[in-house]
Structure 1
Amino acid sequence: MPGISCVTADEPGKGLHASTGMEDPPDFTVIPDTQWHAIEQSVDRGIRYMLDRQNADGSFGVHELEQPAVTSLVCMALISRGHAPDESNTASGASRAIVRGIDYVLSRQRKDGLLGHSPQSLASSEYSKFMIYNHAICGMFLAEVYGMTNPKRAKRIELSMNKALSFVRVLQKRSIPAAAEARDRGGWRYLDGPTHGDFYSDLSVTSWIVMFLRSAENAGFDVPIEWAQQAIAYVLRCYDERSGAFSYAPGHPHMVTRGMVGAGVLCLFLTGHKEPEMEQRCGQWLLKHPYDRYNHKLSTHEHYHYGAYYQSQAALQIGGRTWEQFYPRFVDTFLTHQNGDGSWEPELKRPELGRVYTTAMSVLALTPPYQLLPIYQR
């Protein structure tokens, strides 16, 4: 981006890339071959369920408002199992579905760079809230597929990504009241003001945008170090020393959830910000709050499948004992409760999002060990 000093991936310890990694790699042998086979079968059944429900315009999902994000999650779930975008005569149904998903997401960009917008979605009272999730998740998806597509489509993605990244920075630099500046600067939240509480940033939105930025940098886009530094400073303020876990926003320990603990840990690893004590305490917290009861919320703030997605990734990044004790139990819960048609039940907190959404999140939560989706890689 002209006028901004950018840091590339070739500079160790800077930008969003970790200078070291794999200090405590996960031991995949704790999963016996029979369980790996069961995981693969489960994932493939979930994928078949989702493919049968792609809409005529290439989208996935029930409602206009959240379809861009759900489409992106479904397509990333397909990629996490080894499917790649391809529209040739010999391409599989999954590969063609990803291409149609890419074109759909590209069609939903506003002139200012916002991804996920449509005139119809403006009518929703939750436009501001859902649209920032659309933007971050769609941006992450486009970055993940950027190097997998033909030159013509890659050029379209490149133009879209540059606008989407600029939009992210505009939001990060938005005006914040002086009283909230020290608490909320560096993170992101909804498109409008603090109409849902007094927050101007939250860890839920911020973590998705951090993943988008890391994925963009992986794909070769320039992400200035200032963006990363400000984002991770906000994430660190969300850490609650008392509980040894991350909360939804700074100073709100009652809003610690499994999803936010996983999101905070993941942000640390994705930005190369080594905090061994934080990681260890979060790993201990994670193991004390397992996914043994399917679709069970620990609090009113929790989204079950959303949290499972983040905790599975976080456990893999922490590695060692944390992953070895978390993942096998987690797998048993999810495989046991998969429906006969390959789906998983709707989210208790947001049932209107339907089963395609929870199936995509469940597949993404099961597949980090495959290390096929670039954002998953340690």
Structure 2
Amino acid sequence: MITILPIAALNAWHIVLWVVLVVVFVGSLFGLRTRWARQRPILRCVLLSLAAHAVLIGLAAFVRFAAIPPGAGKDESVRVTIIASKLQPSILAEETPAATDELAEEPTEEPIAPVVEPDAEEAPPEPEPISEADPEAPTEPIQPPDLMPPPDIAEQGEEIAEVMETPPAVEPETPPETPAPETPPSEPNPPAEVTPAVPEAPTPAVADITPATPAVPSSYAERIRPDRSKSILEQGGSLETENAVGRALEWLAQAQARDGRWDADQWRAGRELRVLGHDRHGAGVQADTGITGLALLTFMGSGHSHLGGPYQHQIAGGLVFLMRSQTADGCLAGDATFYARTYCHSMATFALAEAYAMTGDKRLEASVRRGVDYLLRTENKTYGGWRYEPNTVGDVSQLGWIIMALRSAEMAGIDIPNETWQRIEYFLSRVVRGRNGGLAAYRPNTDWSRSMTAEAMYCRQVLGKPLTDLAQLESLDALAAELPGDGMTNYYYWYYAGLALHHAQHDGNAARLTWNRWNERMKHQLLTAQVIEGSDQGSWNPNTVWGGYGGRVYTTAMAAMCLEVYYRYGSPAAGQSPWIATRPRGETTQK
């Protein structure tokens, strides 16, 4: 009970207290009206607090709380008896739709490995919770089939988590150029509303990373040769380069998120460094599909697949994440921002297409076809090429990833219209620079750069339309003038130049010498830059030209793929074009 003290009950201390409180209250209000207080928000908060407390103390001094008389009920106690009974709910939980949805969304597997925390000075922000896509949105991701190795491979001792209910059945037909695995899969009905978790798998030692994958097309055969170590030495690699790739794969396996993605934001992607003077608004911060595609390409470049081997869990989880990210129109960009969307789509399509070409797993076909169709629709139909928006004038930086995605799909048996290849060749002709045509620009109206020269050189090799002798000498001179270690570290440039020079090394003395010089410098720079201790052991720091946008996963994937150049594609010495073996070398469709 609450009562107010009567006036007669007031004594001297009540009066003194009230006088003090009134002074504090009035003084606080007066202080709030001064210019000094208006310019200091924190002081205003203090004065308001003093005024409020003065009022509260004044009220408390004149309010009396009625209490229970001393001793009342002291010896009394309340006895409570709990009678156990069997609960009889009217509706079982498993029959309630809401309960079913909650169970479907609750992860049931431990993550593949604890996410490695970067060094203190580069601590990434905590990843935001992954929100479910709006089921009524027009770009709802298509439910993909889940991936699991066929029974003969699953019996090797490591089981993939329950990512599908039944193993794939034998498929009677296989895509051209792609020998099917011994037990090719069929496309099962996808389980409804079940998000597969990437299971926890032991991280193998470097010496135990022997790939386990079925027969692959000849262009990928170098990756799984039983004597690959011999091939590595012959092509310019070493035990040290291969161990570095192994450490990179270990780190990537640990850095994978629970749902199969490699979280770009978690690993410091999207830092705006205004490279080349342009503000790209932190492109890369939500580039999960592109970063995941690069990580998958790194695993597959070393001969691993989702059908077997020590990293089958990680690869399967990444592929499923990409397929779940694909929208009905075929786009694989996910939540990437404007400047990263085309990169993300092409890198993700490249990864899915290469996985399909390597394994012949028909469960990947639908996603690859949709990704390819999206590229075909968004190409500039007048001049060829792709950029940030559909049907705009393209750039060479986008073209490299897209050519590799399209050619990988073609090797998996998916037809690419000849008109598309013709427009690509025409676009490349518009960015030619240099006295002999050996240099290349970013876009038709810009000046040449070494990165674009390296990428365009490799694009022509992919197309089976290499440069003329004089043009190639001009390209070689340009690349030799900036070897790895000269200037800022740029793994993007090193990746394309390494592929182009490795492929061209048998085209003459100058090409061989340039490759040897490039390779020695590249090996030294990459081996000395790899993190060798701590939680980031095996990765490469993102303090590179484009590392601010891509983050640690990007730099690690690109650096490791540079060191996979010795066996990534078919050996040119054997007369095998690494990509366009079926397209006659030397012919051209340029007008």
- What interval of TM-score do these two structures reach, taking the shorter chain for normalisation? 0.7 to 0.9
Change (3 A) 1:30 1:305: closer
What amino acid sits opposite 2:303 in the alignment?
A: G
Which residue of the other structure, out of 344, 348, 362, is the alignment partner of 2:540? Answer: 344
Q: Which moved more, 1:235-244 or 1:157-166?
A: 235-244
What per-residue deviation string (whole Å, max 9, x for no partner) do you get for residues 264-294 of structure 1? 0111011111322322321221111101247
The alignment status of 1:49 with 2:49, answered yes or no, reads no
Change (3 A) 1:221 1:41: same
Residues 121-200 of structure 1: pairs in structure 2 closer than 5 A: 121=335, 127-149=337-359, 154-173=361-380, 185-191=383-389, 200=393
Rounded to whole Å, the distance in 2 between the matches of 1:30 and 1:364 is 15
The alignment status of 1:228 with 2:430, answered yes or no, reads no
What per-residue deviation string (whole Å, max 9, x for no partner) do you get for residues 128-151 of structure 1? 32111111111111111114457x
User: Corresponding residue for 2:482?
Assistant: 289
User: Corresponding residue for 1:332?
Assistant: 524
Residues 1-378 of structure 1: pairs in structure 2 closer than 5 A: 29=234, 31=236, 36-63=238-265, 65-86=286-307, 91-92=309-310, 94-117=311-334, 121=335, 127-149=337-359, 154-173=361-380, 185-191=383-389, 200-242=393-435, 244-253=438-447, 256-276=448-468, 277-293=470-486, 296=488, 304-320=490-506, 321=512, 322-340=514-532, 341-346=537-542, 347-371=544-568, 377=578
Change (3 A) 1:372 1:239: closer
| Structure 1 unmatched runs, 5+ | 1-7, 10-17, 19-25, 175-180, 195-199, 298-303
What amino acid sits opposite 2:454 in the alignment?
A: G
Rounded to whole Å, the distance in 1 between the matches of 2:550 and 2:307 is 28
What amino acid sits opposite 1:187 in the alignment?
A: G
Q: Identity over the aligned pairs, expressed in percent?
A: 27
Rounded to whole Å, the distance in 1 between the matches of 2:419 and 2:500 is 24
Offset, 1:209:
1.0
TM-score of the superposed pair, with normalisation by structure 1? 0.76
Rounded to whole Å, the distance in 2 between the matches of 1:37 and 1:376 is 26
CA contact (8 A) 1:313 1:368 kept: yes
Rounded to whole Å, the distance in 2 between the matches of 1:217 and 1:85 is 20
Offset, 1:246:
1.2
Rounded to whole Å, the distance in 1 between the matches of 2:433 and 2:357 is 38
User: Corresponding residue for 1:14?
Assistant: none
Rounded to whole Å, the distance in 2 between the matches of 1:290 and 1:147 is 33
Rounded to whole Å, the distance in 1 between the matches of 2:365 and 2:546 is 36
Offset, 1:56:
0.8
Change (3 A) 1:86 1:230: same
Rounded to whole Å, the distance in 1 between the matches of 2:570 and 2:541 is 24
- Computing the radius of gyration from Cα coordinates, the structure with the larger value is 2
Q: Secondary structure at the match of 1:273?
A: coil
CA contact (8 A) 1:114 1:164 kept: yes
Aligned length: 316
CA contact (8 A) 2:357 2:409 kept: no
CA contact (8 A) 2:352 2:364 kept: yes
Rounded to whole Å, the distance in 1 between the matches of 2:525 and 2:259 is 34
CA contact (8 A) 1:59 1:101 kept: yes
Rounded to whole Å, the distance in 1 between the matches of 2:391 and 2:421 is 23
Rounded to whole Å, the distance in 1 between the matches of 2:232 and 2:570 is 19
Q: Secondary structure at the match of 2:566?
A: helix
Q: Secondary structure at the match of 1:206?
A: helix
Rounded to whole Å, the distance in 2 between the matches of 1:357 and 1:171 is 25
CA contact (8 A) 1:27 1:324 kept: no
Structural RMSD (CA): 2.8
Q: Secondary structure at the match of 2:238?
A: helix
Change (3 A) 1:272 1:371: same
Which structure is higher in RCO with an 8 Å CA cutoff and minimum separation 6?
1
What per-residue deviation string (whole Å, max 9, x for no partner) do you get for residues 226-277 of structure 1? 1001011101211212484111112311xx3332122101110111113223
Q: Secondary structure at the match of 2:255?
A: coil
Offset, 1:69:
1.0
Rounded to whole Å, the distance in 2 between the matches of 1:172 and 1:47 is 34
User: Corresponding residue for 1:22?
Assistant: none
CA contact (8 A) 2:530 2:540 kept: yes
Offset, 1:376:
8.8
CA contact (8 A) 1:79 1:373 kept: no
Change (3 A) 1:323 1:28: farther
Offset, 1:30:
7.3
What amino acid sits opposite 1:85 in the alignment?
A: H
CA contact (8 A) 2:294 2:558 kept: yes
Offset, 1:102:
0.6
